[in-house]
Every structure is written in C-alpha cells, then in structure tokens.
Amino acid sequence: MKLEVVNKEGENTGRQVDLPDHLFGVEPNESVVYRAVQQHLANSRQGTHATKERSQLSGSRAKIKRQKGTGTARSGDIKSPIFRGGATVFGPRPRNYSVKMNKKEKQIARKSALSAKADEGRVKVLEDFSLDQPKTKEYANILQNLQVNGTKTLLVLDDVEDNLFLATRNIPRTGVTRYSKLNTYDILNSDYLIFSESSVSKLKELV
C-alpha cells in the first residue's frame, strides 16, 4: 500500500512511501484482536483493592452484651459486620488480574489492527519534523493542518524527542509513541494513526 507524504502544513510533498504488506495488508482476525484488548485492559489493573475482614480489625473478641433479656437482637463481638465500623463480609482482596497471551497472537492482533486502520483510510504519513521548543500550539497547528484536530490521534515516531513529547502531552485525545511500542489497544483507541516518514522504514523490523 502506498501513501502520500505530507508536510506540517498538510500539503503533499510529492513523495510516497510503501506501507509493509505484512503489517497493513492482512485479513483482520477479530477474535485475536478481542483477546489482545482484553489482556491489555486486564494487565492495566492494579488489583490492590481490599477491605478489612473480621480477623484484620482491631478490637476485642468478647461478647458485647448478654445473649438474652436485652430486648434487642443477639450479637457477638464489636467487629460484627452488622455494626457501624464493623468488618466486611466477603470483601474484595488483592489479586492479580493479568492474562497470558502467546507472542504470535499479539503479533497477529497488531497486524489486524493496523490493517483495519489502513482499510478505513485512517493512516497518514507525516514528513519528519522537530520542535525547537516544547510549544503545544505548534503541534496543535500541525493537527489542524492535517484536519485531524478534535479526534483521537496517535503519532508514531522513530524516536520520541523531549520537546515533541512535552508539546503533545497537554493536548487531549493525543498520544505519541515509538514504533517499537505499538500495541493493539493504542491502535484501536485512536481515530487516526500518524506515522513519521522515518518510522515507516523502521516498521519493516516489526513482525
């Protein structure tokens, strides 16, 4: 697949680049893509949620009142769940939510996501550029020239410079990453993928 290379002003440079067919020309596998997204979201969970059960609360285990003759319901120690400040019954405990997935399945999912974006015409190639200062306005103007402002965009670079990273992080729904860190979730979570011209040649290294 060939794509036109545009500059920061959104104008065609007259050059074209070839997107690797092994990444952008495969038949999407929806079931593998689903599992890859599920794994990404599951692995992002901290799993540190917890509440205190009876054995973890401080307090006496002595019966707080006699069994009969009080006119109220019988009760045990002060840590009973029916009391305010008491323990939680079957509360959440810390756990590991991570999901395992084969390396080849991850690769198929990433290829499927890239191919789907290319089929939808949501892949752009931008001429290599750099920012002298971390100016958010400069990058916002680039997005406007590319007619993708207001949408979710992911800028894929050969190497992320500090000035460019600082300029993009204050714009909502905008991300920047290195080509080697592309994953299925980030691809699908973006409306447009913007590849720098130098990063396209590096994509051939991905499998």
Q: Is 60 helix (H, G, I), strand (E, B) or coil?
A: coil
Q: What percentage of the chain has pLDDT greater than the value 70?
A: 100
pTM of the entire predicted model? 0.83
Q: Which two tokens stand for residue 95?
A: 């756990």
pLDDT number for residue 33: 97
Tell me: do 139 and 57 sit in the same domain.
no
Tell me: do 13 and 57 sit in the same domain.
no
Tell me: do 139 and 180 sit in the same domain.
yes
Average pLDDT over residues 29-51: 96
Tell me: do 78 and 91 sit in the same domain.
yes
pLDDT tens digits for range 87-145: 999 999 999 999 999 999 999 999 999 999 999 999 999 999 989 999 999 999 999 99
- At 207, the pLDDT band (50, 70, 90 cuts) reads confident
189 to 24, 37, 132, 182, 185: CA distances (angstroms):
17, 10, 29, 12, 6
- At 1, the pLDDT band (50, 70, 90 cuts) reads confident
Strand bridging mode 192-196 / 12-18: unpaired
Number of domains the chain is built from: 2
pLDDT number for residue 146: 95
Contacts of 27 (CB under 8 A, 6+ apart): 112, 115
